[in-house]
Amino acid sequence: MKSLTRTRTARRGFTLRELSIAIAIGSSVMMVAVGLVHHAFDWSTLARHRRSDDQTFFQLSRQLRDDLHVAHQADLDSGDTSGQSLRLSVNGNDLVYTLTDMTVTRTERHGDAVVRNEVYRFKRPRTLVLTRLEADNQIQLNVKTITPFAESETPLWRSLRISIGLRLRHQNGDIAS
């Protein structure tokens, strides 16, 4: 009996059963870790696109607000194939905002020559809708997020309401400061 205990205590290394259990646990931990790393990259990309869309919207809203506040006239055109367009007359120049699927193009013309052309492009799927509120002489821009679920309603992401010619009315004294 002494020889049997002596061989068990003198044994070094692991059995095949112990090694297979350790490898199974280690591979499970590695699979979970790799999945989490992939999700972290996806979340990082999504956050970067959302931040880019926020910056795009704020730049677009600032430019649209500045143009509408000094506009003498604003005409909203709803086209079926090319999207909507908003035509403004500002200080002898014609400004046209054209809304398509995920972009807004601002074209400034003086006569027939194009002075400036800017494109505001969203990274995430969005729908943009311009409406004119006749009672308040305002233009409203609604930006909605397109979801992959067909049965759900498209949620409103951002909304903007701008008065036409507000700065001109202040300069002319039509509105008291």
Tens of pLDDT, residues 102-119? 899 999 999 889 999 999
Domain annotation covers residue 43: no
Q: Which of the two residues, 174 and 75, has the higher pLDDT score? A: 75
E-only strand ranges, 35-125: 73-78, 84-90, 93-99, 103-110, 113-121
Distance CA 108, CA 87 (A): 10
| Span 60-76, average pLDDT | 91
Q: Which of 54-68, 95-109, 150-164 is the least confident region?
A: 150-164
123 φ, ψ (degrees, to nearest 5): -85, -40
Which neighbouring-strand residues pair with 163?
A: 138
Segment holding 41, helix H or strand E: helix 16-69
Range with the largest mean pLDDT of 16-25, 72-81, 133-142 = 16-25
Q: Using 50, 70 and 90 to split pLDDT, how confident is the model at 7? A: low
- Closest to 130 measured CA to CA, from 167, 93, 104: 104
Domain annotation covers residue 96: yes
Domain annotation covers residue 163: yes
Cβ contact 165:69 at 8 Å: yes
Domain annotation covers residue 37: no
- pTM value is 0.76
Distance CA 147, CA 153 (A): 8
Show Cβ contacts of residue 167 under 8 Å, excluding neighbours closer than 6 positions: 69, 70
Q: Please say if the pLDDT value at position 8 is more than 80.
A: no
Q: Convert the pLDDT of each residue in 37-57 to its tens digit.
A: 999 999 999 999 999 999 999
What's the domain count of the chain?
1
Position 122 scores a pLDDT of 94
Position 62 scores a pLDDT of 95
Q: Using 50, 70 and 90 to split pLDDT, how confident is the model at 175? A: low
Domain annotation covers residue 130: yes
Position 136 scores a pLDDT of 77
| Span 74-102, average pLDDT | 85
Q: Tell me the residue type at 5.
A: T
Mean pLDDT of all residues in the chain? 86
Show Cβ contacts of residue 106 under 8 Å, excluding neighbours closer than 6 positions: 63, 67, 95, 96, 97, 116, 117, 118, 119, 120
72 φ, ψ (degrees, to nearest 5): -80, -30
Domain annotation covers residue 33: no
Distance CA 168, CA 5 (A): 101
Domain annotation covers residue 118: yes
Domain that holds residue 151: 58-172
